[in-house]
Amino acid sequence: MASKEIQVRTFRVEGMDCADCAVGLEHTLRRVPGVRQAKVYFGSATLRVWCTSEVSDATLRQVVEQSGFRLHAPISHTHEHGNHTRIGQVAVASALGILGFVLQTDHQPAWAFVPPYLLAIIVGGIPTFLGGWRAIRTRNLDTNALMTIAVLGAIGLREWAEATAVVCLFAIGNLLEHLTTERTRHAIRQLMDSAPETATVVTPEGLQTVPAVTVQEGERIRVRAGERFPLDGEVIEGSSDVDQSTITGESQPVPKSPGDEVFAGTLNQTGMVDVRVTRTYENTTLARLIHMVEEAQEHKAPLQHLVDRFARVYTPAVIALAVLLATIPPLLWGDFSRWFFRSLSLLLIACPCALVISTPVALVTALGTASRRGVLIKGGIFVEAMAQVRAFIYDKTGTLTTGRLRVRDIQPLDTFSAEQILAMAAAVEAVSTHPLAEAVREEASNRRLSLPTAQGCTIVPGKGVEGWIDGRLCRVGNADFACGYIAQDMPFLPDGEQEGYAQVWVQYDGKTIGRILFEDARRAEAAEVVRELRALGIGYHVMLSGDVESAARRVAHDIGLDEFRAPLLPEQKVDAVRELRARFGSVAMVGDGVNDAPALKSATVGIAMGAIGSDVAIEAADIALMNDDLRLLPYLVRLSRATLSIIRQNIAFSIGTKLLLLAIAAPGYLPLWLAVMGDMGVSLLVTLNALRLMKYGAPSVDMMPHQALLWKR
């Protein structure tokens, strides 16, 4: 017996030019036995079907093809084709229509001007008529069905010029809408095209070029300079500079050497590297990004729900009005042709394309624009929520600070200088991989110190490191380990850890000669970002930290925050977020997406920092910054507000224009061609208005903090 387990299948739809058609395709697929749910995402031309295993892909393809579209694999490099053919059809139909009009106005007989009109209607209207017939057969009155009825009605009334104008204008409008809608899908297509379809696998027999989809985890692949990485992996041999802009949006290449992670779709610029594959083709960071951008359309913004509800009532109401207009007035006053012609105008105006696409086209454009800049927004609902944020909440470590320790101060306790103490500590710490040891070596390197020779260096677990310099024992570690003797005439020093600093002591020849204090380095752009957000009207900024109070206070003061709370456990962070949300209504929480996952989920909008390659970070947050650039926060606020503004403009314009056309059509003052031009023109204008978001600029990651004020649209 066949399994009844529900499967989710994703396809790309070719030929999807009309938002109304997308709704019709959904209804058609839901009638297929075994299909439980179907969703068509017009903005990215994606179809997702929930069905039993009994439903084959071939069945779904057949149903979709009968509806006038074509299906392709979910991760595919197949593009829309046939633009030149469509342009040619529109041009021929328009030329024939103009010829017929010239002959008719020249008072030629009907046998001279009717054939050009008829040919124009056939050439330009075949796609519309086929779509209309399928819509009527499936009892779903979409735009094609309404246009077909109107054209046939005009032909029945022998209004050849009107019928031809309707067909040609609708074909031109569809072509323009197709070309502009394709731009909204361009961001996802760029991501898809960035991953090669083949990979060079290193085998005992030599190099083999195979489809990337067949490469398994653990296999070794080779990527030469100038090639893109086909899969995620870890560099195991070689070094290079890698352009990661397709994933993170950062403009500067990132150096990669053995042990570093690389991602599918990024460009290997300078050297050949061998990589151990860590994720298969369908699970790469790039594939997850594409999937997330497409899936984001499931999370509709409240404005989009409002539009959908309005459209469900509006279209049937106007169709009913058209039927009444074609039947009641002729019974009272006669002149059926005149009233039937008016009803056809109403049918054309009833097409809700402009209203239906007014919201999703703007949201999809915003999602695609953000994704190209390394920002993953997981739904339109979060775009709207981001525009309404009134307070920002930050984690400290890894968000406002880099999470990497650096030397803050060196305090001598004897006749040795700070440079001598640092040089000896760095020499002994050469054998340690502890973060404090790395910070000591980095500071010594930054100061370009000449290090003494250290011998016999060993790690003493839980205490520190010791070694011999010039025949004398040198110890670097905690107080119990390195404070065997402190000169009595040295000034008293408070405990660095109580001040919020990590610390190590340095002992030489049995005498404690100094102390090194460390701090978590603050992000250089953090204070500027907070000021920029305040300028945008977001006036309250809070830091929640698990660190000691003194360290949190210092970071909050330096960055210019309004409040800090420390030390907090993860559950206490959740309580704090809920309290602030109740206080301000809408808050955004920014964290690393791992330790702060519960707090991120509790905020109105959760934003994960540095999510590249991290499943946990991407899953935990509503918005993921694929790199560690805080300057994307003001950009997000601006983009979200601009998106909401454009959505409101589109809704107001589409509804206002429809009502105006209805008012003109009802008394009979609106010819069919003008009704079509009005409908298609509004659809085109709302699409073009939404496309303005594609030019909405973001800061480059190599921009200096003081340049943040120069961000512009």
Which range has the worst mean pLDDT, 277-281, 435-439, 515-519, 550-554?
A: 550-554
Distance (Å, whole) CA 12 – CA 490 = 74
- Determine the pLDDT at residue 703: 37
DSSP string, 395-447: EIIIIIEEEEEEEEEEEE-SSS-HHHHHHHHHHHGGG---HHHHHHHHHHHHT
- CATH 2.70.150.10: does it fit domain 196-283? yes
Q: Please state the φ and ψ torsions of residue 457, each to the nearest 5 degrees.
A: -75, 130
Q: Which two tokens stand for residue 359?
A: 């919201």
- The ranges assigned to domains in the chain are 6-72, 196-283, 402-522
Question: Of the CATH numbers 3.40.640.10, 3.40.50.720, 3.20.20.480, 3.40.1110.10, which one belongs to the domain with range 402-522?
Answer: 3.40.1110.10
Task: Please state the rounded mean pLDDT for residues 390-415.
Answer: 86
Distance (Å, whole) CA 458 – CA 455 = 9
Q: Which two tokens stand for residue 462?
A: 């839980």
Distance (Å, whole) CA 82 – CA 17 = 13
Mark whether 615 is an active-site residue: no
Q: Which candidate in 17, 20, 142, 395 is catalytic?
A: 395
Question: Does the pTM of the predicted model rise above 0.75?
Answer: no
DSSP string, 582-648: HHHS-EEEEE-SSTTHHHHHHSSEEEESS-TT-HHHHHH-SEEESS--TTHHHHHHHHHHHHHHHHH
Percent of the chain with pLDDT strictly greater than 90: 20
Q: Binning pLDDT at 50, 70 and 90, where does residue 498 land?
A: very low
pLDDT for 425-473, tens place per residue? 999 999 888 888 989 999 999 999 999 999 999 988 778 899 999 999 9
Distance (Å, whole) CA 687 – CA 176 = 10
- Percentage helix, strand, coil, to 5, in the chain? 50, 20, 30
**Statement: residue 1 has pLDDT above 50:** no
Identify the DSSP state of 228: B
Distance (Å, whole) CA 677 – CA 681 = 5
Return the sign of the alpha-carbon dihedral for residues 314, 315, 319, 325. positive
- CATH 3.30.70.100: does it fit domain 6-72? yes
Percent of the chain with pLDDT strictly greater than 70: 80
Q: Please state the φ and ψ torsions of residue 700, each to the nearest 5 degrees.
A: -80, 150
* Rg (the chain; Cα; Å): 33
Which strands make up the sheet holding 464-469, listed edge to edge?
Answer: 401-412, 511-522, 502-508, 472-477, 464-469, 454-460
Residue 219 CA, distance from chain mean position: 30
pLDDT for 136-164, tens place per residue? 776 666 667 777 777 887 777 777 877 78
> Is the distance from CB of 101 to CB of 167 less than 8 angstroms?
no
Q: Please state the φ and ψ torsions of residue 155, each to the nearest 5 degrees.
A: -65, -40
- How many alpha carbons lie under 13 Å from residue 595 in its C-beta half-sphere? 17
Distance (Å, whole) CA 212 – CA 121 = 47
- Determine the pLDDT at residue 185: 59
Distance (Å, whole) CA 66 – CA 461 = 72
